[in-house]
Structure 1
Amino acid sequence: MPFNHNDHYHRLLLRHLPKTCRTALDVGCGTGRFARRLAGRGIDVHAVDPSAEVVAHARATAGEPADGSPLPRFEHADVTRLELPTGHYEFISCLAAIHHMPFETVTPLRKALAPGGVLVILGCYPEKSAADWAWSLAAVPVNAVARLAVAAAEGRRPAGAAPVQAPVAPPDVPLSRIRRDAAVLLPGCRIRRLLFWRYLLVFRENGLPPGG
């Protein structure tokens, strides 16, 4: 299993989980790793992904939690076509998936947030500016070391079948436009650049309309 940039940031995303969270939506759940971490905290997790293969794998590998925690409800679905319940989820996560859909999809996701609910997006962006390239250059040696460490660890384990991976696509919306669109659609959100070609967007629903 190569070094996974999204898995690397799981703990960072969990820091934004509301303390009394009971319901969560994981958009673009892939093989279900983050959804299982949420469910392991006793949260009712609805996890959706448009890839039938990865959803089947997520269901097959979910297992039975030893502590009696609920299993995520994995659904093969395109979130842009789903009718999400209004004001229902206390936490919505979207890991490296928003660039697979129109960014305006954040509007129905926002409507699905309960009052005080949190939306976190771990997003990808293409290198367009000097700052983008500087961060990319800084990430290259760190990424190489991380991959070597993971490869060494995996080399000590018995070989198995190739892992199922979610479909990937290169991002095409620059971070500057993401910031601009998010300021309108998710007023008050915070965006910060991360290493490994990612950004973190955090939005808390306060009931105000865009621009309010």
Structure 2
Amino acid sequence: MKADQPGLGFRKDGILRGFEVDVGTYIARHLGASRVTFQEVRSDNREQKLNDHVVDLVLASYSITPDRARLVSFGGPYYVAHQDVMVRRGQTRIKGVRDLAGRKMCEASGSVSTERVVTGLSIPAQLVPGASYSDCVAKLRRGTVDAVSTGDLVLAGFAAPDLRILNAPFTDEQYGVGMRKGDIEGCERVNRAITTMYQDGTAGRLLRKWFGHSGIQLVESVPQFEGCTE
């Protein structure tokens, strides 16, 4: 889990809380785990933590991409987020992703979200490195950057009176459960657990619990799985 993303995974008073913490616990219980131990990861060390056997599953706003799928296996996705943009409340000139051209946008270490903007959409934003999305949001508040762009669930967790989400999504981010490469049986079991989580109403309840106040559109139907392959 990440420990610095409010709403998804955030450590407070020594305890991790958030949507991904609850989803991870649900999946682990359905896999038969009698005890769940949480370890903190960052965007730039998730593969290493898995391959070093420090963790068995990663739920950390871990977008499924072809490059990452060559390194790890993915269950799910357990949610399809939509990439959006967050700006300071008084910023009115940025109305959509195209308005990021020439603007300073924070690039969280290990994340692929800025690549989708600069490379995927050919928008020439000025990238400013950040250690994590919590660091990026801090830079946004200080005025060091003009915008932060990533999945709407991540942005929703940081929502505050001085910040706003444009609510102008422009792509999808499939959040998957990372596991060691080639664990097909584990992937299939994870997918069955995710299906049950949506069918029994747990997923919808957790989404409303953590993000119902944010104003973003939440999807409570079972996501289309990528499939478990070598």
TM-score w.r.t. structure 1 length?
Answer: 0.34
TM-score w.r.t. structure 2 length?
Answer: 0.32
Which structure carries more relative contact order (alpha carbon 8 Å, separation 6+)?
2
